[in-house]
Amino acid sequence: MGAVERDIDDLPKNDANYTALTPLHFLDRAALIHPDRNSLIHGSLAYTWRQTYRRCRQLASALSSRGIAFGSTVAVIAPNVPAMYEAHFGIPMSGAVINAVNVRLNATTIAFLLAHSQSAVVMVDQEFYALAKESLKIWEDSRKGKFSRPILVVIGDVNCDPRSLHEALSEGAIDYEKFLETGDPDFEWKPPQDEWHSIALGYTSGTTASPKGVVLHHRGAYLMSISNSVVWDIKEGAVFLWTLPMFHCNGWCFTWTLAAICGTNVCLRQVQAKGVYSAIADLGVTHFCAAPVVLNAIVNARKDEQILPLPRTVHVMTAGAAPPPSVLFSMAQQGFRVTHTYGLSETFGPSTVCAWKPEWNSLPLEKQARMNARQGVRYTALEGLDVVHTQNMKPVPADGKTVGEIVFRGNAVMKGYLKNPKANEEAFADGWFHSGDLGVKHPDGYIEIKDRSKDIIISGGENISSVEVENVLYHHPAILEVSVVARPDERWGESPCAFVTLKPEVDDSDHRKLAEDITKFSRAEMPAYWVPKSVVFGPLPKTATGKIQKHLLRSRAKEMGTLKKSRL
């Protein structure tokens, strides 16, 4: 046995010098410093930080008075509205865990995750009341008479058709504002006794099996909230537009970051390019986060929806999929400053950043976009990031070519999956969190995703990165969006199949001619074996956060049958 390590002292922790880390303290600080600054703007509705702190304490108090406490879970089914923001503080202030539910899931999936998390309260925005009602019915039916119905709270919104609100209230749901009135605005909430206690539960989109419940702790939420402001240099008083759903990894922890920097949250119920440009022009927006698909919609918006030139530099953080360099290039041309990050629900949202280097400023814009399209280096609050050989866990050489799995380690990694020991064993094998993403490490130490392990196309024994093929195709003048997947191929085993959405102004009357033009372009721009052998036109299926659902496209490519004769 090794010698016991001794510190230079024997001074113990005490109440004066040690407290559990939690992002909840950011809120009372914001209310103290800027009580009259706008905390939230939603249409004609505006709250100050003083009001938001009082409302969050009322929510915590109302929940506590109904027996919701440490060990309880509260589900919230809502888009980006003030109540969803308040839930990120009020629910954990009661000791409970927030389960922010993706509003685009179907009732069967929501029923599964409400049951799996044993949600004791369901808060639902009026627009999604029918969805919640159906989900609760499915859950109740599955319990065969042993069902304890959760408390149902409906969130009203003047911007919505009042009928769904009236229906919810007539069926016994409690109005959110009335629910708050039952709480004490001076409620003395208590921070967690242990920073390892859970603050949030979020479900991964279960594309192949049941969704997995990602459990996050107060410590990680605190560190990632602070890390966001350090990595992005988002300063005190920033005006942040909620284009990213708060239900997605708790808004990448920006729900809590905005309180830490005493900023202003601008809620956007529906994300459309026009609304984004209007908020920038009218409300002083300085920052927003969005998946690359949203950036694509912004730069390709109709001229009458755009408000250019931008009144100020607007900072954009993008993650959720690898952004095509062409989209980054177009954003830069319009005056947006894009910071590219990458992460997963299991790492509190983005946990790597393509940290910008001053020497890149002198590069041509296209080269800058290519450098910025890489996933980069670890966040300030992440201790370990590497690309490793899957067989032996040894780091791959930093040659920009050798492909390995991206792995994470440190305080920015989840506690684990709820009630799923098998998945935890796999995810945490060898002392690392395994992302399932394949990438390379460049000579400068920056990592770059090449694909999800299941999205690599193996054609004639050669590995093809679908992301790299997509990046080339995005330069085609007619292509708005593209996703490339494997299609069974008689000669090559698999070959690339491109699903394409055309730009609105493109004449799409002759698909055959367009497909030939895309193939011709591909032959000139990429290796012959990368060239898509099939091109399919139409809208692409997406998740709630704007990620293209490749698993659905893979199924469609399979249903198209085996490609009989390849013209390679």
Task: Identify the bridge partners of residue 500 per DSSP, sorted by sequence position.
Answer: 482, 537
Distance CA 222, CA 253 (A): 9
Distance CA 299, CA 171 (A): 44
Domains 23-32+42-222 and 271-452 share a fold: yes
Task: Please tell me which residue, 277 or 293, carries the higher pLDDT value.
Answer: 277
The pLDDT of residue 104 is 81
Say how many C-beta atoms besides its own lie within 10 A of residue 333's C-beta. 11
Closest by alpha carbon to 340, among 241, 232, 466? 232
Asked if the model's pLDDT at residue 553 lies above 80, the reply is: yes
162: cis peptide before it, omega within 30°? no
Say how many C-beta atoms besides its own lie within 10 A of residue 193's C-beta. 11
- Could you report the per-residue pLDDT of 63-89, keeping only the tens digit for each? 999 999 999 999 999 999 999 999 999
Segments in 188-272 forming alpha helices (H): 218-232, 249-252, 254-260
Task: Please tell me which residue, 479 or 550, carries the higher pLDDT value.
Answer: 479
Q: Using pLDDT thresholds of 50, 70 and 90, give the confidence band for residue 208.
A: very low
The beta-strand segments (E) located in 10-143 are: 38-42, 45-48, 73-77, 97-101, 121-125
DSSP letters spanning 521-541 = HHHHHS-GGGS-SEEEESPPP
Residue owning tokens 């367009």: 514
CATH class held by domain 23-32+42-222: alpha beta
CA atoms 472, 475, 477, 483: torsion sign: positive
The pLDDT of residue 282 is 96
**Residues 6 or more apart whose Cβ sits within 8 Å of residue 62:** 179, 180, 182, 183
CA atoms 564, 530, 296, 477: torsion sign: negative
Q: Share the mean pLDDT of the chain.
A: 92
What CATH number was assigned to the domain covering residues 271-452?
3.40.50.12780
Distances (CA, A) of 441 to 358, 359, 371, 430, 438: 21, 20, 13, 20, 10
DSSP letters spanning 315-364 = EEEE-SSPPPHHHHHHHHHHTEEEEEEEEEGGGTEEEEE----GGGGGS-
Task: Please tell me which residue, 49 or 370, carries the higher pLDDT value.
Answer: 49
Task: Please tell me which residue, 231 or 451, carries the higher pLDDT value.
Answer: 231
Domain range summary for the chain, segments of one domain joined by +: 23-32+42-222, 271-452, 456-560
Average pLDDT over every residue of 35-44 = 97
- Could you report the per-residue pLDDT of 289-325, keeping only the tens digit for each? 998 878 988 998 999 999 999 999 999 999 877 678 8
Strand order in the sheet with 433-441: 384-388, 404-409, 433-441, 447-452
Q: What is the 3-state secondary structure (H, E, C) of 84-112?
A: HHHHHHHHHHCCCEEEEECCCCCHHHHHH
Q: Using pLDDT thresholds of 50, 70 and 90, give the confidence band for residue 1.
A: low
Q: Using pLDDT thresholds of 50, 70 and 90, give the confidence band for residue 568.
A: very low
Closest by alpha carbon to 438, among 469, 401, 410, 473? 401
Distance CA 249, CA 204 (A): 9
Distance CA 532, CA 560 (A): 14
By DSSP bridging, strand 239-242 and strand 213-217 are unpaired
Superfamily of domain 456-560: ANL, C-terminal domain (3.30.300.30)
The pLDDT of residue 328 is 87
3-state secondary structure of 288: strand
The pLDDT of residue 209 is 59
3-state secondary structure of 498: strand
- Could you report the per-residue pLDDT of 166-177, keeping only the tens digit for each? 999 999 999 999
Percent above pLDDT 70 for the chain: 96
- Could you report the per-residue pLDDT of 139-154, keeping only the tens digit for each? 999 988 788 999 999 9
- Could you report the per-residue pLDDT of 357-409, keeping only the tens digit for each? 999 999 998 888 889 889 999 999 999 999 999 889 999 999 999 999 999 99
Task: Identify the bridge partners of residue 111 per DSSP, sorted by sequence position.
Answer: none
Say how many C-beta atoms besides its own lie within 10 A of residue 250's C-beta. 27
The pLDDT of residue 566 is 43
Closest by alpha carbon to 121, among 160, 159, 157, 83? 83
Lowest mean per-residue pLDDT among 321-330, 424-433, 437-446, 547-556: 321-330
Distance CA 347, CA 278 (A): 33
The pLDDT of residue 544 is 62
Structure tokens at 565: 């004769």
